[in-house]
């Protein structure tokens, strides 16, 4: 399903939004992250897929490959660490802790009794656990019933304490808040609620690194036209989309690209928000193979950025995401194979869905001259699930990728 957002506009980025998230703060976050040994200094690849573009009937498709975001294999590696650093700096302003020293564990003795907690579908919790381990504080992660054991093991490997609950993601958020209140721990969540906006803002600001890297990779400078006519962004609570959309809106103003958010039909909180004109909840079961997007409640803070900037909201079925995973793994024509997890392939699934329908193609302005940006938000963060869905292992796809690079 597709809904046009009547509240979207094309105006210069407002000063009120810039006071919350800005290119300047995104660049600061990016500089801080360069000191974290868990991440490589190099930008993740921006991959051109000319064969896929020809097959789908558009001029260009690029995919930003966050599966290469070091060992964490997900864009979430950019959000939770920045939020944790800024939280520590706010709590101990007199110490004047620097990000570089925190990431190197130089203040671990001071922070050994400090505990952070979060609910997660996997990637956010893994990133928070890894950052907490590096910094030297304690970390508790609440997992709901649908989070795989593979994802649990990956989080626990960073020393986090795991708490399992029987409910879904939204129930795990509630449990994390309860445990934090009972134990005087600090929630580091990527979704906002009344009275809780600083940390989600910092998480979203970290995601601006992705947009900054893309503009550099396409050699787009201030005042230049957008390199893309259309940008497809995954949904979830809205944090990733808000972080990237805010950056592109500040960069391009009224000449920003058309932006489309894609989410599972059973976890359609952003789609419902577009219909209601306010942050709303999903209408479905929330359970989805796209685990990272299986969220039932829109982040109100993220919605402040999405409402004026996202042109279309759409939902897809689980099998469409799986088809897109397979399409990226086998590669079209001369394209390089790409490892994309269930949520990572959602943008391509949304694009393919629109292009199959002449009315939807026309409505969204997609055509032979369109240039498309996709974000592969994760790799095979659950390897067994990936093998089952794609029919081959992530290692097989990466081996094919290496062979392609040797020939290129």
Catalytic residues: 76, 121
DSSP bridge partners of 120: 143
| Angle at alpha carbon of residue 380, lines to 27 and 116, rounded to 5° | 55
């Amino acid at each position: 399903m597709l809904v046009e957002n009547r509240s979207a506009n094309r105006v210069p980025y407002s000063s009120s939004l810039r006071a919350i998230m800005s290119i300047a703060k995104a660049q600061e976050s990016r500089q801080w992250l360069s000191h974290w040994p868990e991440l490589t200094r190099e930008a993740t690849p921006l991959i051109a897929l000319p064969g896929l573009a020809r097959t789908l009937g558009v001029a260009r498709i690029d995919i930003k490959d966050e599966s290469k975001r070091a060992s964490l294999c997900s864009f979430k590696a950019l959000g939770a660490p920045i939020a944790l650093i800024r939280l520590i700096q706010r709590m101990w302003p007199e110490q004047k802790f620097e990000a570089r020293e925190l990431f190197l564990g130089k203040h671990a003795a001071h922070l050994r009794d400090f505990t952070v907690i979060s609910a997660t579908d996997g990637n956010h919790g893994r990133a928070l656990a890894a950052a907490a381990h590096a910094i030297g504080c304690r970390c508790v992660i609440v997992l709901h019933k649908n989070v795989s054991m593979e994802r649990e093991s990956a989080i626990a490997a960073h020393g986090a304490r795991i708490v399992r609950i029987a409910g879904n993601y939204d129930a795990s958020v509630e449990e994390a808040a309860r445990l934090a209140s009972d134990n005087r721990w600090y929630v580091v969540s990527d979704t906002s609620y009344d009275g809780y906006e600083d940390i989600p803002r910092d998480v979203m600001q970290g995601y601006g690194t992705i947009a900054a890297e893309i503009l550099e990779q396409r050699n787009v400078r201030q005042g230049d036209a957008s390199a893309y006519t259309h940008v497809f962004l995954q949904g979830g609570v809205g944090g990733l989309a808000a972080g990237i959309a805010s950056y592109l809106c500040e960069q391009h103003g009224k000449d920003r690209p058309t932006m489309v958010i894609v989410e599972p039909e059973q976890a359609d909180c952003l789609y419902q928000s577009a219909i209601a004109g306010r942050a709303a909840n999903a209408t479905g079961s929330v359970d989805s193979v796209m685990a990272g997007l299986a969220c039932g409640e829109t982040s109100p803070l993220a919605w402040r950025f999405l409402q004026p900037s996202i042109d279309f909201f759409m939902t897809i079925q689980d099998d469409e995401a799986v088809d897109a995973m397979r399409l990226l793994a086998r590669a079209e024509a001369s394209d390089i194979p790409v490892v994309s997890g269930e949520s990572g392939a959602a943008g391509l699934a949304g694009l393919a869905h629109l292009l199959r329908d002449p009315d939807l193609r026309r409505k969204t302005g997609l055509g032979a001259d369109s240039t498309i940006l996709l974000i592969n938000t994760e790799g095979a963060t659950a390897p067994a699930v990936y093998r089952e869905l794609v029919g081959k292992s992530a290692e097989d796809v990466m081996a094919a990728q290496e062979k392609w690079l040797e020939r290129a």
